[in-house]
Amino acid sequence: MADRLRARELFDELGERLELRWVGGQRGGERLIERGEHLSRRPSLAGYLNVIHPNKVQIIGSAELAWLDGLDARTRWEILFKIMESRPLALVITQNQSCPADLREAAEESETPLWVSPRRGYELLNLLQYHLARALAPRVTLHGVFMEIYSIGVLVTGDSGAGKSELALELISRGHRLVADDAPEFTQIAPDVLDGTCPELLQDLLEVRGLGVLNIREMFGDTAVKRNKYLRLIVHLDQSPEQGEEAMARITGETGSRKVLDLDVPVVALPVAAGRNLAVLTEAAVRLHLLRSKGIDPAAAFLARHSAFLQQGDPQ
């Protein structure tokens, strides 16, 4: 998705679902909001009519229309001018209420999109907030193969030629699912959630050296691919592991984290060497991650057992 969203695009995407009618300001269809614009200037992307801290999409319900009707002519004109001056992406009137003539006229003069919906205000608010937040959320493209393994999203990374695609193909043959190859896109849709998707151009495709581009859906069926998944773990294929591996790493494994947008994602490094079954090791890494997420850490349990043994002393 682009870094910006136009009023006409929002209308086209949600118009049928929200039963929107465009009743004024048709020339404002190119008005847009850019990603990140709202973070420093506006408290929310969509909300009920707010003149002091204007939302990008202003929802006008029965209470807001009643408040406008209670103003004297001069104050009402000043308020309407202030609403249009804030340049909202659109104004939405709820419950098919009649649009005041002066509001429609102000929208036409300022080229502000004015929509009417039969939905109640809270329905519009929930759907608009969700859609706008997702469309304009921070986004990054990472190099690797993104898969669903044992129900969690796993990004397989590594240098070119490390065997990422071959590993993905073997994992698919073992019943796991492909989300995206080469350039998965990750969107931070919540403070602790990274949603990974595949660019439309690469949908269902996996490139394997020696075989070329494979269509995984056609080869393995619909169950072999998935549209999106939350990123929970990164498995890094290390082609050049350091010599003289530390003893502690033999117990705890090569683990760490990688910052993706605002989140620290756990990383497991798997040394690549001849004869190693990377598919089995990757599955084991995912199972171990699932155990640790439940508070079960075999390495920590072993170290505790070892410490207890040393404290007991030599029984002889």
Distances (CA, A) of 201 to 11, 165, 182, 211: 25, 17, 11, 19
Instruction: State yes or no: 163 annotated in a binding site.
Output: yes
Spatial CA neighbour of 42 closest among 91, 88, 93:
88
Query: Regarding beta strands 212-215 and 205-208, do their DSSP bridges make them parallel or antiparallel, or are they unpaired?
Result: antiparallel
Q: Kindly name the residue from 182, 229, 232, 236 that is annotated as catalytic.
A: 182
d(CA 157, CA 140): 15
Calpha distance 29→282 (Å, rounded):
49
- Alpha-carbon Rg for the chain, nearest whole angstrom, is 27
**Residue of 250, 276, 287, 306 marked catalytic:** 250
- The pair phi, psi for residue 256, each rounded to 5°, is -175, -150
164 is a catalytic site residue: yes
Is residue 34 within 8 Å of 138, Cβ to Cβ? no
- Residue 162 marked as a ligand binder: yes
Is residue 161 marked as binding? yes
Residue 226 and residue 198 in contact, taking contact as beta carbons nearer than 8 Å: no
In whole angstroms, give the CA distance from residue 230 to residue 50. Answer: 35
Whole-number Cα distances in Å, 123 to 18, 19, 43, 127? 9, 12, 19, 6
Catalytic residue among 4, 41, 53, 143: 143
Catalytic-residue membership of 182: yes
- The closest alpha carbon to 300, from 245, 253, 267, 265, belongs to 253
Query: 316: which DSSP letter?
Result: -
**269 belongs to an annotated ligand binding site:** no
* 165 is annotated as contributing to ligand binding: yes
- Count of residues making up the chain: 316
Quote the tokens at residue 271: 């040394």
Could you tell me if 291 and 255 are in contact, meaning their C-beta atoms sit under 8 angstroms apart? no
Choosing from 31, 119, 164, 236, the catalytic residue is 164
Per the annotation, where are the binding residues?
158-165, 207
Per the annotation, where are the binding residues for Mg(2+)?
165, 207
Q: Which residues are catalytic?
A: 143, 164, 182, 250
Per the annotation, where are the binding residues for ATP?
158-165
